[in-house]
Every structure is written in C-alpha cells, then in structure tokens.
Amino acid sequence: MSDEWSLNPSSPVPLHRQIYDYMKRRIMNGEWPVGTRLPTQRDLAAKFQVNRSTVVYALGELSADGLIAARVGQGTVVANNTWSLLAASPPPDWNRYVTSGLHQPNLQMIQQINRAEANPGFLRLGTGELSPELLPTDQMKQVFSGSMSSRFSLGYSEPKGSLYLREIISAYLQTKGIDASPASILIVSGALQGLQLISLGLLHAGSTIFVENPSYLNSVQVFQSAGMQVHGIPMDRQGIQTESIGRLKRQHNAALLYTIPSFHNPTGVLMPSERRGELLQTCIQERLPVIEDDVYGDLWLDDPPPPPLKAGDRQGLVLYMGSMSKTLGPGLRIGWIVGPEPVMERLADIKMQTDYGSSSLSQHAVAEWLSSGLYEQHLHRTRAALTSRRDSMLAILSKHYQELAEWSIPQGGFYIWLRLVQPVAMRLLFEQALTEGILLNPGAVYDRQDQQHLRLSYAYASLDELERGLLRLAALIRLNSCREF
C-alpha cells in the first residue's frame, strides 16, 4: 500500500512494534478507514522485508486492540478506530465509492506494470520511454536560465494554450508538410489527454472506434471508460489493411479511426506512402474522421517517414496528434492536436473545464527547445543512440532467439514486436519474470486475444540490462513452452 515508509533496523524499538505503531497510526488518522483491506501477510512481510512471523505478531496486537479483524472472503480489514467506536454512526463506505465511479479501472496487468514501473528496481524490457540517460535533464536548466522573463507567464494560459508555443509548433509542423495556423492547434497535457478530450468532447457513448490490431489504444481505457467500443482492424507489414474498412464502417457505424502510421506501438510498423494514400482515400470516401497519432514520427532511424496523413488532408478530416513525450521527456506532459478550428475550440472549452490548461513551465520549455534549435540537435543525438541500441538488441536476438521467435527490423521508434513461435503460458511467464525482477509487456496489453507476442523496447533499459534480461527471458520462455497449460 504505502510506498515510502520503512522500518528502522537500528532503532531500539522491536520490529514488530514498529510495524504495529505504523499501522495503528494510519488507521487512527483515517488514512486507512474502517473497511480498508490490508495486504496479505506474505505481501506485508515482503514490503517490510521481515519474517512473516514478525508481521503475524504485529497483526495479532492490532487485532487484540480491535482495530483489525478477519472477514470471510475479504482477508483482513480495518474494523475500528477509536473514533469510529466513539461516533454514533459508522464511517462512510468508501469501498462502495471506489468501486462505483464511471471510469473503468485499468486492466489488472496494466496496473501491475504501472506499479512496477514506479519501482526503480525492475529491469524493464518493454518500457516505452527513453532511458533516463537519454533525456536532456541538464540541458533543461539552460533553457530556464536564459530568456525566461520576456515571454514566460505564471498565469492561467489561453484556452488553446500559449499562443507563443502554438506559433512555434505551427512552424515546426510546416516542416512535415502540415499547414496549420496557431488557431487550429490545441496544446494538451500529452497525447493521452488529447484522446481523453476527444472521447469527452466529440463522441457519444456507444460509438465505435476503429484501431489497428494490436494497438496502443487497447492499453489505455480512455474510450472504453467513456462507454465506447474499440474495434481492431487487421494489420500487415505496411500497417492497417484498408479493404475491409468500408464494410466494417457500415456494419458498426464507426465514429472514428485511430491510427499510428509511423513506428506503430506496439509493432514498430512504418506505413509506407502508398498505404497512407489508400487509407486517407478510404476514410474520405467513408466520411470517417481519423485520429493520426504521430508521437514517434521524429524518431526515424534510417530515413524520415513519408509525410503524415494530415499533410494530404484538405477537408479537415484528420485530427493530428504529436507529443514531446517520446523525444524530450514524458515528464513535460506537452502534446498537441491539430484539426478544424471549430473542433479545436470545442476541445479547448472542455480542457478548460478539466484542468484549466497545461503547465506554463512546460509550455515555455517546449517553446524554447523548438525555437532555439536545441530540439533538433537533441533529435540527432537521440537517433544515433537509438540506432545503436536497436542494432545491439537485434544482435542479441539473432544470437539467442533464432528458434524461439520471429521479429522485423524497426525503422524507427522504440519497439520490436517479438512473436514466439511456440505457444507459451503468457500470464505465467509475466508473473515469473516479475518475481525475478524483470518487467515484460505481453501482447495482451495491446490485443486482449494475443498470447504469442511480447513488446520489446530498446529505448529504456541499459545495454547491459537488455542483454542480461533477454538471456534470462529466453530461458524462461524455454521453460514455459515445455509445460502443459
């Protein structure tokens, strides 16, 4: 549960008593209200790094105090605190609140991944982020020591975001062949928030969204939580297949198509120019608006990708999304959506209602990086580093995964979509790896039906870790593919 407290082994207070004091305090001050379920004895022992008997002792005392109790089917729960004994009526049933919101909880496996990612101890073989050593943390200082006062404001920003930043992004988009004036650009707190705004602002509950199968979109609940269906469309090596879109659109009355044409998450696929043209034509014909997610577009390794769909969109059919998360740093929480002005105004109004705009510090930082040329320099370095990481990972795979798996060579982005040639008990593999401190991203995160892929990322872990992790993973795969299941 808590993520920061730890025992003090050099204290004269016995360990079981430290645990007792800690838990009692959290019960008494209402942080663990009556009804809160405690972790299992085993989990508590692991968390405190003590013997299970120490935990049992502490729990026994709490139980003798009447503060906790065992409940059938629920494990151990908080039963009382002094105040609940004094008060005439029992406290509110938070549990009922927690389970009754409109928003769906994340998939359990995704929650596990989120939690493990917050723990620096794990070796992460599939994480979709640049390694901390590739993020320009120090250079970020320079950006603030310079010209801050002139443009920078600590006030609430305009509904669509800082005009200064939008002007700079407008110029940056021009280099990709996208002609967008600042008024048709909306600054968002990352592309994910852009998707959230679209789900809240433009769609009915019950709408259907088409996505590539597999897709990043299945790893977030943003459309599902707003009551929408997500429907996967098959891919090949050129990206989403366009033939069936028309028929499916009529069948499902789809409201939107979401696509990641450049360095697709999780497959790494780059959609060639011809397929882009076909896709755009199909969507024009079917009057099917498109979300084009281009967060990996700047991370080409061999050659720049073809122009985005948006560059060929003269009808305002495409909502185009970009972000600084995969290049400059996800901590900035800055992305943008580009589309018809009335649509951006609607989304801006909802954004104002949601969080009153994005961090002005972050907006300022991004404007400085883009306008100074520092961003372009950083991309150069990043591409070089990713290219060498990709090549190292490919070398490891060639050496140790020949009979185990198949893969393609990504031309940009972060990912290798590893297809295991033998069936494997994927859930078990995930759990086993986790107990060994290795965090995996199984295919099911991106396609519920998938049982045979892993998303690998060469962007995050160090080369040493990648080698060590992939070796161990190969062994675990061998182990699991022999088992019956």
Ligand X SMILES: Cc1ncc(COP(=O)(O)O)c(C=O)c1O
Is the Cβ of residue 314 or residue 483 nearer to a copy of itself in the bound state? 314
Residue 317's binding partner, choosing from a copy of itself, ligand X, none, with beta-carbon cut-off 5 to 8 A by kind? a copy of itself
From CA 21, how far away is CA 28, in angstroms rounded? 10
Length of the chain: 485
Per DSSP, the three-state class of 95 is helix
Is the Cβ of residue 245 or residue 445 nearer to ligand X in the bound state? 445
Binding mask 382-421 for a copy of itself (x = CB under 8 A): ----------------------------------------
Single residue of 14, 66, 92, 234 touching a copy of itself by CB under 8 A: 92
Pairing of strands 335-338, 318-323: antiparallel
From CA 256, how far away is CA 222, in angstroms rounded? 14
From CA 207, how far away is CA 274, in angstroms rounded? 29
Single residue of 76, 193, 208, 265 touching a copy of itself by CB under 8 A: 193
Single residue of 165, 256, 295, 445 touching ligand X by CB under 6 A: 295
Is the Cβ of residue 60 or residue 132 nearer to a copy of itself in the bound state? 132
Query: For a copy of itself, which stretch binds (CB under 8 A), given 236-244, 323-331, 369-377, 382-390?
Result: 323-331
Residue 216's binding partner, choosing from a copy of itself, ligand X, none, with beta-carbon cut-off 5 to 8 A by kind? ligand X
**At closest approach, how far in Å is the CB of 309 from a copy of itself?**
12
Q: CB atoms < 10 A from the CB of 159, how many?
A: 17
**At closest approach, how far in Å is the CB of 150 from a copy of itself?**
10
Q: Report if residue 293 touches ligand X, rule: CB under 6 A.
A: yes
Single residue of 126, 335, 443, 469 touching ligand X by CB under 6 A: 335
Single residue of 48, 122, 172, 216 touching ligand X by CB under 6 A: 216
Single residue of 126, 136, 232, 306 touching a copy of itself by CB under 8 A: 136
Q: Report if residue 114 touches ligand X, rule: CB under 6 A.
A: no
Size of the site for ligand X (CB under 6 A): 14
Contacts of 107 (CB under 8 A, 6+ apart): 219, 221, 445
Strands annotated E in 266-311: 290-293
Residues 286-305 that bind a copy of itself (CB under 8 A): 286-289
From CA 418, how far away is CA 457, in angstroms rounded? 10
Binding mask 259-278 for ligand X (x = CB under 6 A): -x----x-------------
Which pair of structure tokens corresponds to residue 155?
């006030």
Q: By the 8 A CB rule, do 410 and 416 touch?
A: yes
Residue 323's binding partner, choosing from a copy of itself, ligand X, none, with beta-carbon cut-off 5 to 8 A by kind? ligand X
From CA 454, how far away is CA 267, in angstroms rounded? 10
**At closest approach, how far in Å is the CB of 474 from a copy of itself?**
28
Q: Report if residue 282 touches a copy of itself, rule: CB under 8 A.
A: no
From CA 444, how far away is CA 447, in angstroms rounded? 5
Q: Report if residue 89 touches a copy of itself, rule: CB under 8 A.
A: yes
From CA 210, how far away is CA 200, in angstroms rounded? 17
Strands annotated E in 330-473: 335-338, 405-406, 415-420, 438-439, 441-442, 453-457
Helices (H), 206-269: 222-225, 245-252
From CA 322, how far away is CA 336, in angstroms rounded? 5
Q: Report if residue 417 touches ligand X, rule: CB under 6 A.
A: no
Q: Report if residue 31 touches a copy of itself, rule: CB under 8 A.
A: yes
Closest to 27 in 3D by CA, of 53, 55, 3, 1: 1
Is the Cβ of residue 104 or residue 273 nearer to a copy of itself in the bound state? 104
Which pair of structure tokens corresponds to residue 432?
């086993």
Residues 48-77 that bind a copy of itself (CB under 8 A): none
Q: Which residues bind ligand X (CB under 6 A)?
A: 128, 190-192, 216, 260, 265, 293, 295, 323, 325, 330, 335, 356
